[in-house]
Amino acid sequence: MGRLRRLAAGSVVLGSVLVAPGCAQVSRTGDTTVISHSWVSLLAIFVIGVSMVVFGVGITKESMEAPAPKKGAGKSKAKPRRSTGTYFGVGLTIAGLLILVLGVPSAYVASVTVHPDRVVFRDALFWWANEPRQFDYANLTGVDIEVVEMPIKRRGRKDKEYLVLTGTLSQDRREMNSLLRAAHPVLLNAWRQYREGNANIAAAEPVPGLPASTTHPVQPAPVEVMAEPPGKLTSVESIGRFRPGVSVMVPRNGTYVRAEVLEVFQEQQIRIRYDGDRSNDVAIIPLVDAIPAASSRLPGPGEGPGREITDISEVRPGMTLLGHYEGRWHEVEVIDVSERRITIRWPGERFRQRTPLSWLRIPKE
């Protein structure tokens, strides 16, 4: 029995050594990059599970077949030792089965898919709950690694790393693993390229019945630089989603903070008050540097002008649709159409946004 235990422990150690190196592989198809577990790591996990089951069954069988103590031999330790071996074998078998049933399928389906405009995670702990979670770059304001010091009794401290995706209203934190570690530089590069490649806004024809919006092409300007004195700027009611009272995320000191729009100007400028850093400073910044917060209200069925989109095939890039934001409808430009979502660009904004069909309407002709 001792020999089987040593073999079982040795197999687990050997499998762990095999899993450590090269457990993530990167494959590219066009502009899409997929990071997943390599076949070496999958095979190693499978070998660990099978080894634990085989040795667990062997240890259990050997313990059950151990000779019983002779009568009259007095108190013997054979029975406690036999019970310990049985418990150890059963526990090792159960652990191996869990690895085969949970670990192998979960590792097989786990992946991080980096697209030019979004990232999709499939990294849930259990394979049956591994639904894809998608994050659009248009809604992300930061892709960072956060290091947290974790105190460990008698061993000092240990650093734990998290991949942090910062959005306009929420933050997603994922504990670092081999997949995320390999995906981080690819994701960061794609996100930066997306932000740098969407600076110009195409002009859109006004939609009858809606407030006119200024949609002239704009050029990025330094944040917090007042291009013209306030007296020379023309105040308007709104430009697309921007109007007084709307919350936006704006860059400041290398990060994004929350601010409130105080005034919108026809010259693609907005006056804001910083409230995310508690400074309450007021500044005039380019409109394209601000990202409106997510809408707190969603349109219901049959609500809004125009007609609902029942067939995505009738939507094509370059079309002008109506997009919903905070109870209002604005003309938006269609950039791309895929699956059940449409990539749009709001008037006066630099970044694209992937939007579900229920948020859009086709204007009446």
Q: Residues 52, 8: contact at Cβ < 8 Å?
A: yes
Q: Residues 270, 263: contact at Cβ < 8 Å?
A: yes
> How far, rounded to the nearest angstrom, does the alpha carbon of residue 225 sit from its chain's CA centroid?
33
Q: Dihedral sign, CA of 5, 8, 12, 13?
A: positive
The pLDDT tens digits for 178-231 are 888 888 888 888 887 787 665 433 333 444 444 444 333 333 334 444 444 555
At 277, is the secondary structure helix, strand, or coil? coil
pLDDT value at residue 221: 38
pLDDT value at residue 222: 40
pLDDT value at residue 168: 58
261 pLDDT more than 90? yes
pLDDT value at residue 211: 43
How much is the pTM?
0.46
The architecture CATH gives domain 230-292: Roll (2.30)
Round to whole Å and give the CA distance between 94 and 108.
Answer: 21
The pLDDT of 358-364, averaged and rounded, is: 85
Q: Which residue do the tokens 């010259």 mark?
A: 267
Question: What dihedral do alpha carbons 24, 29, 31, 32 form, nearest 10°?
Answer: -40
Q: Residues 141, 264: contact at Cβ < 8 Å?
A: no
CATH class of the domain whose range is 111-197: mainly beta
Domain ranges of the chain: 1-109, 111-197, 230-292
Phi, psi of 179 (to 5 degrees): -65, -50
Q: Residues 172, 135: contact at Cβ < 8 Å?
A: yes
170 pLDDT more than 90? no
Q: Residues 245, 261: contact at Cβ < 8 Å?
A: yes
Round to whole Å and give the CA distance between 244 and 349.
Answer: 16
